[in-house]
Amino acid sequence: MTDTPENIGPADTDFRSGFVCFVGRPNTGKSTLTNALVGSKVAITSSRPQTTRSTIRGIVNRPNCQLVLVDTPGLHRPRTLLGQRLNDLVRDTYSEVDIICLTIPADEKIGPGDKYILDQVRHMAPRTPLLGVVTKIDKVGRDKVAEQLLAVSKFLGENSDVIPVSAASGEQVEDLVQLLASKMQPGPAFYPDGEVTDTDDDTMMAELIREAALEGVRDELPHSLAVVIEEVIEREQTEAQVKADKPGMLDVHALLYVERPSQKAIIIGKGGSRLKSVGTEARTEIEKLLGRKVYLSLHVKVAKDWQRDPKQLGRLGF
């Protein structure tokens, strides 16, 4: 890829580095697998489809390699302008990576959606090597895993490797790292050792808030929810914080945008109970991310049909 920091780190000929893109239908385990490989939460996860909204980079550091994982939105047939722009994000990534991994769950049959994605990948990046990753193998027995491996191998063709993995249990995760490393060219690390993502804090905070807000809601809401960090304010350190060499509290003000008043009511909940729960869960994750105490203020606004409005999409960062 061309838009990376200046090469840093090991230049030994035994050291390998490169970029990997996970593609697949929505909810095939791409974000969960990214987090498992990195060993830290860099991409939000949800049981709802179309959770990922941006290309999140996770950095896998091992003594013999550095892999930069690009977690993309699930490629799908778009119904809105937002859907089209999410697809464009995926397509722009195809030709910029060294390997594309097509994720297909062990507990789901290969279907038209998988064929659509495979056709798109081969059309947009015909020279990029393709690796099949059978995910969620902890959900089925060994016979079913073997059956799915054969099906995916036949689906991709004899020139593509296929590997089973479970991000939930960790089974085969390290094998996948080493398989990907073996397919990379010798080269230096792109990021300093210890970094796990190049995504900025505001984007990560917005994603964590959206993740918390998505849990337990109706199917249509995930597509209609956007989160924008409005303001981040550093509080002065207290005397106790100065003595303990700890940072002051951070005030984070965020806006949650939905498309209809009925959706606003869902997010807020009776008497504001649900929004309070979202704030508590998101604040806990943000404090883990930043390593400091956070005061989180959430407000919900209606932006009618924002998914179809170019101006509103631009204001919301799409």
| Residue 27 annotated as lining a ligand binding site | yes
| Residue 24 annotated as lining a ligand binding site | yes
Sign of CA dihedral 237, 242, 244, 246: positive
| Residue 80 annotated as lining a ligand binding site | no
- CA angle 302–306–308, rounded 5-degree value: 155
Determine the Cα–Cα distance for residues 274 and 251; give it in Å rounded to an integer: 21
| Residue 71 annotated as lining a ligand binding site | yes
| Residue 72 annotated as lining a ligand binding site | yes
Where are any strands of DSSP class E within 127-195?
A: 130-135, 162-164
| Residue 74 annotated as lining a ligand binding site | yes
| Residue 209 annotated as lining a ligand binding site | no
Determine the Cα–Cα distance for residues 285 and 46; give it in Å rounded to an integer: 14
Q: What are phi and psi of 283, to 5 degrees?
A: -60, -40
Q: CA dist 269 to 49, 145, 193, 264, Å?
A: 22, 41, 43, 8
| Residue 279 annotated as lining a ligand binding site | no
| Residue 136 annotated as lining a ligand binding site | yes
Determine the Cα–Cα distance for residues 170 and 102; give it in Å rounded to an integer: 19
| Residue 31 annotated as lining a ligand binding site | yes
| Residue closest to 70 by CA, chosen among 36, 34, 41 | 34
Determine the Cα–Cα distance for residues 308 and 318; give it in Å rounded to an integer: 11
| Residue 135 annotated as lining a ligand binding site | yes
Contacting residues for 31 by C-beta, under 8 A, at least 6 apart: 43, 44, 45, 51, 52, 56, 71
| Residue closest to 144 by CA, chosen among 156, 132, 155, 136 | 136
Determine the Cα–Cα distance for residues 161 and 16; give it in Å rounded to an integer: 19
Binding residue positions:
24-31, 71-75, 135-138
Binding-site residues for GTP, in ranges, read: 24-31, 71-75, 135-138
